[in-house]
Amino acid sequence: MKRLCTLLGTLFFVAGLSFGQVAANDVGLDVQNTGPFFNGIGSDGGGMCPPAGFVTGSFSGLNTQLGRIFRDGIPSACPNKAYPGIFNPGTTYNYETYTYTNTSGAAACVTINFDPNSGGGAPCGTNAHMSAYLNSYDPNNQGANFLGDVGSSVTQPFSFEVAAGQNVVLVVTNTASAAVCDFSFEVVGLPCQAGAQIPTLGQWGLIAFVALLAGLALFVQRRLRA
């Protein structure tokens, strides 16, 4: 009897693992987490430029959409990739977006180092997937402006081309359920020059005060010479 209970417990445990795990893609490809990532130099993080190094993100649960991208197991490469289609259009998923700008005068091949297995205290694992869009993302028309995606929900890079002076919108969605979890990513190869910082009202006041002092000093100096 004891052996029977042990056997049944083992079977239920294995079954639980099988049903609890989420596939990395929707075509049954056996894809492993890969590395090392492409190395790059980030910008200073100002304006619409990505910060240097990895960005940590998480689903807030505030942005939802019906359906998600079909994960065909193929990470995109420059210049771009055809939209693979929508999956489960009747299911609600969370999504988050991140927008950055190619401020240069030429198209750029941009690489995203996506890592759903780190970034916070509750890694998403295969329950997060990243895609890229040109200028805007419409959750009601997920094929519009599509540039590329990571292919499988694993730690690996993917690439796409961003035209000169255009924005790239990075979209991260849940894949199995609308869960709140953490992920991280790094943007490599995006030419982005942060714009000049506009002085605040307080800074303008300081500038005016310094100019007034300089003018007063010049006036006193001329009076002494007279």
Tell me: the pLDDT tens digits for 197-220? 555 556 666 777 777 777 777 777
Q: Which of residues 29 and 15 earns the better pLDDT score? A: 29
Residue spans per domain, the chain: 25-188
Query: What does the pLDDT look like over 149-190, one tens digit per residue?
Result: 999 999 999 999 999 999 999 999 999 978 899 999 999 999
Which pTM does this prediction carry?
A: 0.72
In sequence order, the 6+-apart residues with CB closer than 8 A to the CB of 84 are: 69, 70, 71, 72, 74, 149
Residue 161 · residue 77 · CB < 8 Å: no
DSSP state of 126: G
